[in-house]
Amino acid sequence: MNTQFKQETFRDDYTYTNSAEAIRRFPFPFAEDEYMYSVNIEMHGEGTGAAGSVFEHGIDVDEHYIAECEDRRIVLDEDPDRYTALPHMMDAQWDMVELMMDSLSKDYPEHFQLQKDGDNWHWVNKPLGIDQTFVFGDEATLPMQPFEYISRQVQGDWIILDQRDDDLFADMGMVTSQADWSMAFDAGMSFKEWHGPVPQANEIGIFDRALKYLLHLQYGSPVRRLNWTMTINPRLDTSPENYPFWGPDNASVTPENVGDKVYLRVELQALFRLPRSNAIAFSVRGYLISLNELITYPRWGKRLHRVLKQLHPDLSEYKGLDNYRQTVIDFLAPLDDGADLGLGTHPE
C-alpha cells in the first residue's frame, strides 16, 4: 500500500478531510434501515476483510495516521492522565508492544520494521521518524512505559482489561479520542459497571451474553464489532474532561452548515486476547466522515436518513444527537427516494 499521510488537524481550524479512497473504505455501519443494539460480533484479523478495507489487517493504518498520532501527543501534553496503567498490568504492557509492533511491521513493511534477536528488538517507525533499540521485558530500555510508548504510535484508543473473578476490569488504557467517556473515571471498574449508563441494552440481556463471550475469547482469534455516534466538527477528543471545548458546538448546527459540520463517527471495536497476561485488549478506532462526504454515495445517504428517523429516543439521547438530529434528517430527506436498499453496508 502506498499511503500518502496527510497533514491535518482535529481541533481549532479543523482541516481534516477524507480522500475519495478514504470515503470508499469508510466502515459504514448500517446494513438495515432500522438500528438497535445487538451482539454483532464477527471474526477480526488476517483473512477476515477485503483487501483495501479497514478490516484487512488487525490494526488499520490509513492516511490520517500521522495527524492522529500528533493529536494524541497534544492531548497527552495537556492531560497526561489519559494514559493509565495499574501496576499489575506490566505483562500486559509487553503483550501490547508485541501485538502492535508485530502487526504493523508485518502488515505495513514499507512503513514499519521490526528486527528481533532474542529479546533485543530494533523498531523503526518511518512515518513518525522513530528508530529504537530496546530489550523486550526491560522497561528501563524504553523512554517511557512500554504501553505508553507503543500506543502513542497507533491510531485509536486502547483499553486493556484484566480478567479475574469471572469479570473484566479496565486496568490500563490509552484514551485520547473518546466519544464522551473517561478512562480516569472508569479505571478499575468491572464490565457491568462501566456499561451501566447504556440504555435499552441491559434489559435485553446483551451484557450478560457479551461478558460470557469475552471471558472465553481466545488468543489467536480476535473479534470485532462496529459502534457509532455523531460528532460536530472532526474532533477526536470529545472527552468529558474537555466538554467546555466541544459541548457548545452541538448547538451550532444550522440547515446551512449541517453537511460540513456534522460527522458520522464509526468506532471499529476489536478485541484481542493477550498471551502472557491473559488480559484482553479492546481497541476503539474512530472513523469520521462528514455528511457531505457520506452522501457522495447516495445509498449511504438514504440509509442514514432512515436509521436516524427511526432511532429509539433513548439511544438518540444517550448518543447526544437530540440537539441536531432533526436538522440532519431534514438535510437527508430530499435525497431519499424511498427505494428498497436491500441488506448490506456497501456504498453502491
Partner 1 sequence: MSILNVKVADVEQVTDVVKHFTLVQENGEPLPHFSGGSHVVVSMNINGRIHRNPYSLMGSTANTDSYHISVRKQENSRGGSVFMHEQVKPGSRLQITYPVNLFAISKMGRRHILIAGGIGITPFMSQIADLNRLGYDYELHYAYRSPENAAFREQLEAMCGNRVHFYVESEGGRLDIPDLLSHQPLGTHVYICGPDPMVKALHINARELGWPENHVHSEEFTAPPIGDEFKVQLKQSGVELVVPGDMSMLEAMEEAGIDAPFLCRGGACGRCEQQVLECDGVIMHNDHYLSDAEKASGNSIMPCVSRAKCSRLVLDF
In order of 73, 153, 188, 219, the CA distances from 185 in angstroms are 21, 24, 9, 28
Active site residue 73: no
Give me the numbers of helices (H) and strands (E) for the chain, helices first please: 13, 10
Q: Give me the least distance between CB of 90 and partner 1, in Å please.
A: 8
Contact call for residues 131 and 124 (beta carbons, < 8 A): yes
Question: Residue 283: which of 73, 77, 106, 60 has the closest Cα?
Answer: 60
- Rounded to a whole number of angstroms, the minimum distance from the CB of residue 207 to partner 1 is 16
- State which residue, 116 or 152, has the beta carbon closest to partner 1: 116
Task: Report the nearest approach of partner 1 to the CB of residue 72 (Å).
Answer: 28
Query: DSSP of 142-211, one letter per residue?
Result: SSS-HHHHHHTTSSSEEEEEEEETTEEEEEEEE-SS-BS--HHHHTT-BHHHHTTT-TTTTTTTHHHHHH
Pick 162 or 237: Cβ nearer partner 1: 162
- Closest separation between CB of residue 226 and partner 1, Å? 23
Residues that bind partner 1 (CB under 8 A): 88, 91, 95, 98, 162-165, 212, 216, 218-221, 275-278
* CB closer to partner 1 out of 73 and 88: 88
Nearer to partner 1, 240 or 275 (CB): 275
* Nearest CA among 82, 67, 274, 96 for reference residue 174: 82
Q: Which is nearer to partner 1, 163 or 238 (CB)?
A: 163
Per-residue cell: 346: 456497501
- What burial class does residue 216 get, using C-beta atoms within 10 Å of its C-beta: 0-12 exposed, 13-18 middle, 19+ buried? exposed
What does DSSP say about strands 120-125 and 167-174: parallel, antiparallel, or unpaired? Answer: unpaired
DSSP-assigned beta bridge partners for residue 168: 163
- d(CA 268, CA 157) in angstroms, rounded, equals 10
Q: Which residue among 11, 24, 73, 225 is the active-site one?
A: 225
All residues at 6 or more sequence positions from 13 whose CB lies less than 8 Å from its CB, including other chains? none
Instruction: For the chain, state the CA radius of gyration.
Output: 20
Least Cβ distance, residue 94 to partner 1 (angstroms): 10
Which CB, 156 or 222, lies closer to partner 1?
222
Active site residues: 225
